[in-house]
Chains A and B, each alone.
Chain A
């Protein structure tokens, strides 16, 4: 199974951009890259996903490396409400969602 590697934790200042990296060197050509986040005491929520091209939505941007072996979730202006654990997940043909440990993002006022 293709796996992802993320830093355990990151810190950001409020209203500054945050770049959350994810390595997935064994990604296959049909794997979609998904990002979810989990706020304290809540279930995970979808953030964004992509296959090859960079993606933008109202929550974040996803930058995918040309070789697809890594990706970066970009929060353009972090707020205190963005403090959460961010998970980078590969969805394969079996459609399994395998959550790793994720990156715990702390946002400082």
Chain B
């Protein structure tokens, strides 16, 4: 089975802190994604990556950056956390970019910024 793991299930940070959210997948997938999920807004794509060291902005990239130094690992970085970044963060991976391809999601990280 495909496994996508995220470094933390719950995280509490203070405003202004630098926050790293790590995601690792074990199926050699080319593509990895970061979403945030908020009540009433569904899932929104922050960034995705289709190869090592490659990244593309999603719908809401402001306030975030990403890093993909290795194929299996995709990191989401909040350079200076703000309270409006309190959310559930979900990582996903897929083998190729195709309209019929499945995305596999991690369990999510619930981030609270105080």
Q: Is the CB of B103 within 8 A of A97?
A: yes
Q: Is the CB of B99 within 8 A of A93?
A: yes
Q: How many A residues have CB within 8 A of the partner chain?
A: 23
Given pairs A43-B4, A87-B42, 19 additional interface contacts (CB within 8 A): A32-B99, A32-B100, A41-B108, A42-B108, A43-B92, A43-B105, A43-B106, A45-B104, A45-B105, A46-B104, A49-B102, A97-B33, A97-B43, A97-B45, A97-B103, A99-B35, A100-B42, A101-B42, A102-B42
Residues of A within 8 A of B42 (CB): 87, 98-102
Q: Is the CB of A43 within 8 A of B108?
A: yes
A82 at the interface (CB under 8 A from B): no
Kindly supply a per-residue 1/0 record for chain B positions 70-113, scoring 1 wherever the CB is within 8 Å of any chain A CB and 0 otherwise.
00000000000000000000111000011111111111100000
Q: Closest CB-CB distance, A45 to chain B, in whole Å?
A: 7
Q: Is the interface of A mostly helix, strand, loop or mixed?
A: loop
Residues of B within 8 A of A101 (CB): 40, 42
A21 at the interface (CB under 8 A from B): no
Residues of B within 8 A of A92 (CB): 99
Q: How far is A91 from B98 in the complex, measured between Cα atoms in Å?
A: 9
Residues of A within 8 A of B105 (CB): 43-45
Q: Is the CB of A43 within 8 A of B90?
A: yes
Can you list 13 contacts pairing A with B, beta carbon distance less than 8 Å? Answer: A43-B4, A43-B107, A44-B43, A44-B90, A46-B102, A46-B103, A46-B104, A49-B100, A49-B102, A91-B100, A92-B99, A95-B97, A100-B42
Q: Would you list the 3 A-B pairs with minimal beta carbon distance, nearest first? A: A43-B105, A99-B43, A91-B99
Q: How far is A96 from B91 in the complex, measured between Cα atoms in Å?
A: 15
In this complex, the member of A31, A99, A100 whose beta carbon has the largest number of chain B beta carbons within 10 angstroms is A99
Q: Is the CB of B108 within 8 A of A95?
A: no
